[in-house]
Chain A
Amino acid sequence: MKMLRWVLPAMALACFAVSASAQEKTGNRPGFTLAPGSARIVLMRPSIRVGEQSTGGMFEPNADWTDQAKENLGRAIAAAQSGLGNAIVSYEEAAGVDSGRVAEYRALFSTVVDSVIVYQFFVGNRLETKKRKGSFEWTLGPDIAKLPGLQNADYALFVTVEDHYGSTGRKVAQLFAAMAGVGMTSGVHKGFAGLVDLKTGDLVWLNADLQMGGDVRTAEGAQRRVSQLFEGFPGRTGSRPVVTPLISKAAVPAPTTTSAAVATMVD
């Protein structure tokens, strides 16, 4: 509740740049390891939203950009997943399943990660109960394993991408702010990738940043984003590249069932 109440009065304060050096971007649950070829991972439908950031900093969705990003990221994720060291299959919703519940878990994942960023990764604001040595205790709850289709899986992999590209007005405001000696951010380029242990619902690995690289409206940019998202993915095999070279749409070979599914399942 408080978050939103702060938005308007916070606009002025938002001019201050966030100290990047004070923020962590990756978390691992203590003791968690994942050997290559040891687990079955289900990739949940990625959540993707792209739009413009207004002069005042508000998000204005853009359907065309979102569609472009879904296509580009879907292809990049499909290309990358074979290099992640474990069998990754796309989540398939059974007929008649309450799709709202699946969507709500995706939303809960994003909310949990937002909290991880604000109350753990940002060291200066870390909650006292999260300060204990090696602590990384975040969860979606054990009931996630009850979602149809996850019964035989070990982990669920969630991906969230949200990009707010600075409008012309925002960029002009940024320029004037800079001339006045005040730092102002333009744009949000959020990327979360998180692995959830289906035995407990606990978040065991997370990569999350609010200023990731790569313009997801382009194929090359989407590949860069996906590469960053899966950086440090547990169980990844050695130096094997995460992202395969870009293949033009016309030259794409007949996709496997899994990669084809990923390319079309993004939301």
Chain B
Amino acid sequence: MDGARTLILLAIVAASSAASGNKLISPRTKIAVARSPLMVNPSIEWNKLDARPGRNAETWTLDGDALNDVTFYGGIPAGKTLFAEVDKRNRPLPRVSATMLLTDIPPLFENSYRIALDTPLMNIDSVEPMAFAGSKGVRFTYSFTRQNEEVHRRGEGRAAMIGGKLYMITYEAPILHYFDKSLAAFRQLADSASF
């Protein structure tokens, strides 16, 4: 995050200081996420950020979303984007389709990130079938670098189409130190997903 971005974020925080703020997520307690019926049961403490990336999404972190970011997408319906449009007229985000195949999910995620981050340095590195929240699902890994940043990040996601809606959990962090440090905690969260 560059200085301007940090300042903007602080301005948002200052402007919304009366809001409820970030919340502590206690371990070993089943909790619904992303305003959806999707539940997870964390094994460690997390912080739930007050700011949401989208209407049906929420972010948990340990040290800030630039260092470790778990985002839950709680049933994105057909015709909706993963997160808010950044330039709808010139670079519209791809939309979820009720008829999407599992293999369509990683490309949707990749293209959404390329547009939202305005970077060509975003790649899906692997895709494999893996059950998610009791349904047939997909596990994928990815890597990306933000524009004007030298920090390389790695990510992992689990997703499934359930009842025509997209449910997904992603984890991403800088490759140096942070990704490996909390990968097990993320996988535990993803494995605990249920309805």
- Contacts A128-B24, A141-B177; A2 near B69 (Cβ below 8 A): yes
A3 and B5 contact, CB distance less than 8 A = yes
Q: Which among B3, B46, B62 is the interface contact of A190 at CB below 8 angstroms?
A: B3
A115 and B7 contact, CB distance less than 8 A = no
B63 and A138 contact, CB distance less than 8 A = yes
- Contacts A104-B151, A164-B3; A139 near B177 (Cβ below 8 A): yes
Shortest beta-carbon distance, A80 to chain B, in Å? Answer: 22
Shortest beta-carbon distance, A1 to chain B, in Å? Answer: 6
B51 and A188 contact, CB distance less than 8 A = no
A128 and B3 contact, CB distance less than 8 A = no
A1 and B63 contact, CB distance less than 8 A = no
- By beta carbon, the residue of chain B nearest A2 is B53
Shortest beta-carbon distance, A59 to chain B, in Å? Answer: 6
Number of chain B residues close to chain A: CB under 8 A: 56
- Is residue B56 within 8 Å, beta carbon to beta carbon, of the partner chain? no
- Is residue B59 within 8 Å, beta carbon to beta carbon, of the partner chain? yes
Q: Which among A5, A57, A108, A114 is the interface contact of B6 at CB below 8 angstroms?
A: A114
- Is residue A105 within 8 Å, beta carbon to beta carbon, of the partner chain? yes
- By beta carbon, the residue of chain A nearest B117 is A4
B69 and A118 contact, CB distance less than 8 A = no
B45 and A125 contact, CB distance less than 8 A = no
Residues from chain A with Cβ under 8 Å of B13 in the complex: 18, 118, 122, 124-125
Shortest beta-carbon distance, B134 to chain A, in Å? Answer: 27
- Is residue A265 within 8 Å, beta carbon to beta carbon, of the partner chain? no
Residues from chain A with Cβ under 8 Å of B72 in the complex: none
Q: A22 vs B11: C-alpha distance in the bound complex, in angstroms?
A: 12
B6 and A1 contact, CB distance less than 8 A = no
**Chain A 1-37: CB-based contact to B (< 8 A → 1; otherwise 0):** 1111111111101111111001100000000000000
- Is residue B143 within 8 Å, beta carbon to beta carbon, of the partner chain? no
Q: A234 vs B4: C-alpha distance in the bound complex, in angstroms?
A: 29
- By beta carbon, the residue of chain A nearest B65 is A2
- Indicate the size class of the contact surface on chain A: 35 or more
B177 and A111 contact, CB distance less than 8 A = no
B11 and A14 contact, CB distance less than 8 A = yes
- Is residue B55 within 8 Å, beta carbon to beta carbon, of the partner chain? no
Q: A11 vs B8: C-alpha distance in the bound complex, in angstroms?
A: 7
A23 and B9 contact, CB distance less than 8 A = no
B116 and A210 contact, CB distance less than 8 A = no
B64 and A1 contact, CB distance less than 8 A = no
Q: Which among B6, B63, B65, B83 is the interface contact of A117 at CB below 8 angstroms?
A: B6
Residues from chain B with Cβ under 8 Å of A18 in the complex: 7, 10-11, 13-14
- Is residue B15 within 8 Å, beta carbon to beta carbon, of the partner chain? yes
Shortest beta-carbon distance, B22 to chain A, in Å? Answer: 6
Q: A111 vs B69: C-alpha distance in the bound complex, in angstroms?
A: 13
- Contacts A59-B2, A128-B24; A23 near B10 (Cβ below 8 A): yes
Q: Which residues of A line the B interface, CB within 8 A? A: 1-11, 13-19, 22-23, 53, 57-59, 103-108, 111-112, 114-115, 117-119, 122, 124-129, 138-143, 162, 164, 185, 188, 190, 201, 210
Q: Which residues of B line the A interface, CB within 8 A? A: 1-15, 17, 21-24, 45-47, 49, 51, 53, 59, 61-67, 69, 71, 83-84, 86-87, 113, 116-118, 146, 148-152, 172, 174, 176-178, 181
Q: What are 15 A-B interface contacts by the 8 Å CB criterion?
A: A2-B69, A11-B8, A18-B14, A103-B150, A104-B176, A107-B149, A107-B151, A111-B66, A115-B63, A117-B6, A127-B47, A140-B176, A141-B178, A142-B177, A188-B7
